[in-house]
Structure 1
């Protein structure tokens, strides 16, 4: 995969081996999502996103053992961090809009540690839309590390659910605080390009990486200055301002949101 170096490949192989050691025959498959799945991994910036699929519900001791074996302190992540989610196969293939996970682990040198053992433990303020959107990306572009092809394991969302969750994600981003003033706002480039990805998905039904979605809109002459600066910011240029990013997100939300 472009941009994914040997260190990340080795890390993913070891992660799968450790997961198999904990889960045994209950492990149906392992899949790389996010930037790795979308062929857009950027060393020094991207996370490693992994979904594990299991045959049946996991007990509490198994969940905690899996977290202990895969957390950064036990298996150092070469990226900013690991975002790992475990699903039962019936949930992965259902196309549900619900979170539906067995366990979630965020761990790494560049992110706060979090282990969540049931969807009900996930704070509503942190967003519950991530999981179904990630499974939709996995359905299209998941990189199979173990098991059947991702497209056979992960179901896609119904169009209405997709638009609702895209709108929820945009509203969540808009609710985050932004630095005061009209100067460059670190992270605003990701807000703009994330909105580009949502817009391309809503219009064309295809998931692209954030930067590729921005380029798709640039090719059509849409918000060329703002999107161009946002893409350049991922290579070290100054990001756009918070007000610019929020205005763009609002325009995208108005187009993406379900009409009824």
Structure 2
């Protein structure tokens, strides 16, 4: 990226499982955020995507998910997608090059920015907390609720991720802090033991890696996953209402 963008590349940060010490070889993608100068052109970003494509620079992980933002976007504390480039590549990840943040759901992007801010890890450039402004908890929680609802609408597509993202969302709602999916799953298993067998199955599927995960995920009961996500949504909505009623602090 530096070879293409030069000084216009301001910083590169891990996000997702990599930032939360939850990276699982053979299962996890490399999730990265890059921040670039405002004047960075679409042409330059397309060149970045071409140079980083798996066919040109093989990704050692199952996939690379890189989201590039112009500096002002990561400083405003908003919950819009707001990316300048959303790029996926890798041996097990469908290729994607998008320069239009209106092309898909927006909820993953502010969540990942929040994770990056919390971790405060930098691969290149200034620390995230010196550059990023995350959305406040009261602003981000409705986005987290939206993400859980989206998983409920596509259970067959997401498999164990539907369960473990639900666990991660639930723990965030309670503790206002992000955890890797396995840690969030173990916490939720104790917090909601009635869903223990489902969560254990999702954790086992997650640990098995992608080839084994596909069949393991298919074994999860759609009805049980739906019931669990409805439970998570109810808890998060209760938290949202409680915070609003109490006028609780709404910092990051």
TM-score tier by shorter-chain length is: 0.7 to 0.9
2:48 is the counterpart of 1:66: yes
Once the two structures are TM-superposed, the CA of residue 256 in structure 1 deviates from its matched residue by 1.4
Structure 2 distance, partners of 1:61, 1:226, is 46
Instruction: List alignment gaps of at least 5 residues for structure 1.
Output: 1-18, 179-185
Count of residue correspondences: 231
Distance 1:136 1:208, change over 3 A: same
Give 2:168's match in structure 1, choosing from 190, 197, 207. Answer: 197
Within 2, Cα distance between the matches of 1:67 and 1:233? 31
Match of 1:171 in 2: 149
Aligned match of 2:249:
none
Q: 1:110 to 1:232 in 2, by over 3 A?
A: same
1:97 to 74, 79, 88: 79
Q: Is the 1:87–1:102 Cα contact (8 Å) retained in structure 2?
A: yes
Q: Give me the whole-angstrom Cα distance separating, in 2, the residues matched to 1:177 and 1:47.
A: 20
Please point out which of 72, 83, 106 is paired with 1:128: 106
Deviates more, 1:237-246 or 1:135-144: 237-246
Q: Which residue of 2 aligns with 1:232?
A: 204
* Coordinate RMSD, CA, aligned: 1.8
Query: Which consecutive residues of structure 2, in runs of 5 or more, have no partner in the other structure?
Result: 245-252
The yes-or-no answer on 1:147 pairing with 2:125 is yes
Which string of whole-angstrom CA distances, capped at 9 and with x for unpartnered residues, describes residues 19-66 of structure 1?
011111111111111111111111111000111111214212111111
